[in-house]
Amino acid sequence: MFKKWLGWLIVTFAVLLGLNMATGPQVHAAAKEPHYTITTDTTYPPFEFEDKNGKYVGIDMEILAAIAKEEHFTYKLMPMSFNSGAQAVATGQIDGIIAGMTITDERKAVYDFGTPYYKTGIVMAVNNKSKITGLSGLKGKTVALKTGTGSAQYAVSLQKKYGFKIKYFNDSNTMYNDVQVGNSDAAFEDSPVMQYAIKNGVKLKIVTKPALAGWYGFAVKKGSNKQLLASFDDGFAKIKASGQYDKIVAKYLGASASKFSGSKKDNSTFVGLIKQNKKQFAKGLWETMKLTVVGIVLASIWGIIIGLMGVSPIKWLRGLSTTIIYTFRGLPLMVLAFFIYIGLPNLTGDKIPAFVAGVITLVLNEGAYTGAFVRGGIEAVDKGQMEAARSLGLPYGKAMLKIIMPQGVKIMVPSFINQFIITLKDTSILSAIGIIELTQTGTIIISRNMQGFKVWLIVAVMYLVVITLLTWLSNWVQKRMK
């Protein structure tokens, strides 16, 4: 029975891996054109966000597309949080970043910037009902900031002078919501971004004039991708001279968000939200399922291996198993994901695709937990079983496979079911390295329509449905094995 199910697991993995390859990045037909991977923060309207059709739009997106057309290069867009994207570029995982990135002296030490393309300033906004009228009103208050941004650096430089506390967020929408619901008292943001959000329904008000005026720039890793940077500069000069740049800026700064996010009617009902975003939800769910199934299959195989090592009669194998379980069970999943996706390429110089990095993260983390309960399940089998098998002349491996494992697997099944559900939920953490699974899909949709309660409820129901189906399947397997 055990061999049968192991065979099914391997077949399932092979099918999913094949599907992933089929739906992954494809070779571009125009092989002679340079091809780059460029990251952006897709929760930063009007510069970058996803429209009602699931297409990435905004000032930055159209500038990049126009320059690529002028300079004859192609690119794959890699949306992720601003901070993660900036780190990925700095380590060489990704070729460039265009995400409303303010040019500062500190960043110039890490990145090479192209021609500055948009002048900005930093403002402070508070809840519409707040009595705070300026920086002097922040003493003892809590300020919400977006991780890694120029506005966050500016706020930190004021913290000691005005005596406020700080909270960090990975995206602008969550930061705005925290101020709207009263958990934070103020937020610092780039002026055009905050103005656009307020104009389109965010219930905040700006109480300071733009400060620390600076420029947005397209960036690459310092000393790398010189051809890409030169193409950006040349292309930007062309679209600036032709007037295309001004048309792009006017198109987004002068438009209502409903032009891109859909009608108020569609965004105000659950049916409308599901109907308008069904493709995005389906795509996010598919990505979550791929990560979950591939992660479960490989983590189960890896966990069984290190579990068997843990009960081996060979001392050093038991020690190695204990070390692996202790190490990867003790690391937070997000730290492990960042280490594999950003840390290792910085050390080796080789890029790791986000999906592969995500699967490796799940396998190492979930496999450690699986290894622990596999070892425990085998140890729970009466030791007399092994002694009896060996006394009948069975070698150790055959005794383990034929006598011990079938009994141990029955003991492990509830733990396997629990680990499957945990793996599904843990995939949401991998959005931090740019995988647009179900949770990140919800974040991107909310950044467009600001319907946080409704969208998160839809996402929560989708998770519950999948977990329920997975539980039913696991229970069915458990009954069959009895």
Q: What is the pLDDT of residues 380-403, one digit of tens each?
A: 999 888 888 888 888 888 888 888
| Strand, helix or coil for residue 450 | coil
Confidence band for 29, pLDDT divided at 50, 70 and 90:
very low
Strands ordered across the beta sheet of 96-97: 74-79, 35-40, 96-97, 219-221, 111-113
What pLDDT score was predicted for residue 418? 86
* pLDDT in the model for residue 482: 66
If one compares 367 and 391, the residue with the highest pLDDT of the two is 367
Per residue in 235-286, pLDDT tens? 999 999 999 999 999 988 876 666 776 666 777 788 888 888 898 999 999 9
CA 266 to chain centre: 27
Over 50: is that where the pLDDT of 446 sits? yes
Q: Is the pLDDT of residue 10 over 70?
A: no
Does residue 107 surpass a pLDDT of 50?
yes
Give the CA radius of gyration of the chain.
Answer: 26
Print the SS3 string covering 325-375.
HHHHHCCCHHHHHHHHHHHHHHHHCCCCCHHHHHHHHHHHHHHHHHHHHHH
SS (H, E, C) 148-217: CCHHHHHHHHHHHHHCCEEEEECCHHHHHHHHHCCCCCEEEEEHHHHHHHHHCCCCEEECCCCEEEEEEC
Percent of the chain at pLDDT exceeding 90: 50
More confident residue, 228 or 445: 228
Per-residue confidence (pLDDT) for residue 261, from 0 to 100: 67
Tokens, residue 199: 């104009």
Which pLDDT belongs to residue 141?
Answer: 95
Which range among 155-164, 265-274, 430-439 has the greatest average pLDDT?
Answer: 155-164
Bridge-based pairing of strands 186-190 and 142-146 is: parallel
User: Tell me, which fold does domain 32-118+215-261 have in CATH?
Assistant: D-Maltodextrin-Binding Protein; domain 2 (3.40.190)
One fold for both 32-118+215-261 and 270-481? no
pLDDT, residue 31, reads 54
What is the residue-averaged pLDDT of the chain? Answer: 87
Q: Summarize the confidence of residues 79-104 as an average pLDDT.
A: 89
What does residue 215 show for φ and ψ, rounded to 5 degrees?
Answer: -120, 145
Compute how many other C-beta atoms are within 10 angstroms of the C-beta atom of residue 481.
Answer: 13
| pLDDT confidence band for 450 (50 / 70 / 90) | confident
Q: What is the average pLDDT across 370-383? A: 92
- The angle that helices 270-310 and 2-23 make with each other, rounded to 10 degrees, is 130
What does the pLDDT average to over 218-246? Answer: 95
Task: Please give the average per-residue pLDDT across 201-209, as a whole number.
Answer: 91
CATH number at 119-214: 3.40.190.10
Give the per-residue pLDDT at 173: 81
Task: Calculate ∠ Cα 327-332-337, nearest 5°.
Answer: 95
All residues at 6 or more sequence positions from 159 whose CB lies less than 8 Å from its CB, including other chains: 143, 166
Q: In this predicted structure, what is the pLDDT of residue 375?
A: 93
pLDDT of residue 28: 47
What mean pLDDT is predicted for residues 109-136? 94
The residue among 81 and 295 whose pLDDT is bigger is 295
Task: Give yes or no for a contact between 61 and 50, defined as CB atoms under 8 angstroms apart.
Answer: no
Mean pLDDT of 305-312: 93
Question: Which has the higher per-residue pLDDT, 199 or 374?
Answer: 374
Measured between alpha carbons, how far is 446 from 456 in angstroms, rounded to an integer? 9
Which residue ranges make up each domain of the chain?
32-118+215-261, 119-214, 270-481
Sorting pLDDT into bands at 50, 70 and 90, what band is 326? very high
pLDDT at position 21 over 90: no
Q: Is the predicted pLDDT of residue 408 greater than 50, yes or no?
A: yes
Q: Would the pLDDT of 427 be above 70?
A: yes
Q: Higher confidence at residue 302 or residue 267?
A: 302
**Of residues 179 and 444, more confidently modeled:** 179
Helix (H) or strand (E) holding 127: strand 118-127
Name the burial class of residue 385, with classes exposed (0-12), middle (13-18) and buried (19+) by CB atoms within 10 angstroms of its CB: middle
CB neighbours (10 Å) of residue 13?
18
Q: Return the SS3 of 42.
A: coil
> What is the spatial distance between Cα 336 and Cα 79, in angstroms, rounded to a whole number?
20
Q: State how far the Cα of 102 lies from the Cα of 108, in Å rounded to an integer.
A: 10
Beta-bridged to residue 74, according to DSSP, are 35
Cα–Cα distance, 482 to 290 (Å, whole number): 29
Query: For residues 321 and 310, what is the distance between their CA atoms, to the nearest angstrom?
Result: 5
Token pair belonging to 109: 């030490």
pLDDT value at 313 more than 80? yes
Q: How far apart are CA 448 and CA 267, in angstroms?
A: 10
| pLDDT at residue 132 in the model | 95
Average pLDDT over residues 130-141: 94
Residues for the chain: how many in total? Answer: 482
Positive or negative, the CA dihedral 179, 184, 185, 189 is negative
Architecture of domain 270-481: Orthogonal Bundle (1.10)
135-161 mean pLDDT: 91
Q: What Å distances lie between residue 164 and 31, 117, 211, 372, 473, CA to CA?
A: 54, 33, 18, 45, 51
Contacts of 275 (CB under 8 A, 6+ apart): 266
- Whose tokens are 């054109």? That residue is 33
pLDDT of residue 4: 54
